[in-house]
Amino acid sequence: METIVVPLVWADWPEASRRIFQAMRSPAGEEIVLEKNVFVERILPASVLDPLPEEVMEEYRRPFAQSGERRRPTLTW
């Protein structure tokens, strides 16, 4: 199966999502993601329909538990 990818512009994003993702792409992005772990702590839980149990969140946090460069994959995608 093939994937068809279309370009996205900020206007295509919902307003609530747009602000945080634009912030991640701003000069403040490294602090937001590498220090505060916002992608795992805020965006991930807000992106699922049912609340994630704490033990599941711990598994998502585990690879990114240490602040800094270990969280880079959640910033540079």
Q: Within a domain: residue 35?
A: yes
Q: From residue 71, give the alpha-carbon distance in Å to each of 8, 18, 67.
A: 24, 21, 7
**Of all residues in the chain, what percent carry a pLDDT higher than 70?**
100
Q: Within a domain: residue 61?
A: yes
The count of other CB atoms within 10 Å of the CB of residue 67 is 12
- pLDDT tens string 9-39: 999 999 888 999 999 999 999 999 999 999 9
Q: How far apart are CA 56 and CA 45, in angstroms?
A: 10
- Which residues are CB-contacts of 30 (< 8 A; sequence separation ≥ 6)? 75
Q: Within a domain: residue 8?
A: no
- In total, how many domains does the chain have? 1
Global pTM reads: 0.78
Q: Within a domain: residue 2?
A: no
Q: Within a domain: residue 7?
A: no
- Which residue range is the domain that position 65 belongs to? 15-74
What is the residue whose two structure tokens read 């049912």?
Answer: 50
Residue 69 pLDDT:
95
